[in-house]
Amino acid sequence: MSTKELRKSFSPSYFALEDILASQTRVPCKTEMNLANCGFLDPSQENKDLAAGTQVELPIWAARVMSKQKRAFVSLRMPKFYSESYREVLKAEPAVVDLNKMGPHYYQSALQLCTLPSDEADKIAESLPDILQKRVIAMADSYSLHRSVKSTDDISNQLGNSLKFHNMDPLEVEIFNNSKNASEELDDWLRS
Site of interaction with another protein (CB under 8 A) = 1, 3-4, 6-7, 14-18, 20-21, 24, 33-38, 40-41, 43, 46, 49, 58-59, 61-62, 64-66, 71, 73, 188-189, 191-192
Nearer to another protein (CB atom), residue 150 or residue 189:
189
Q: How far is the CB of 7 from another protein (least distance, A)?
A: 6
CB of 140 to another protein, least distance (A): 25
Question: Cβ of residue 127: shortest distance to another protein, in angstroms?
Answer: 26
What is the CB neighbour count within 10 angstroms for residue 136?
18
CA distances from 120 to 91, 123, 137, 140, 187 (A): 16, 5, 26, 30, 45
Question: Measured at the alpha carbon of residue 63, what is the angle toward residues 5 and 103, in degrees to the nearest 5?
Answer: 50
Q: Which is nearer to another protein, 11 or 85 (CB)?
A: 11
Phi, psi (degrees; rounded to nearest 5) at 189: -65, -40
For the bound state, the minimum distance from the C-beta of residue 95 to another protein, rounded and expressed in Å, comes to: 26
Phi, psi of 75 (to 5 degrees): -110, 150
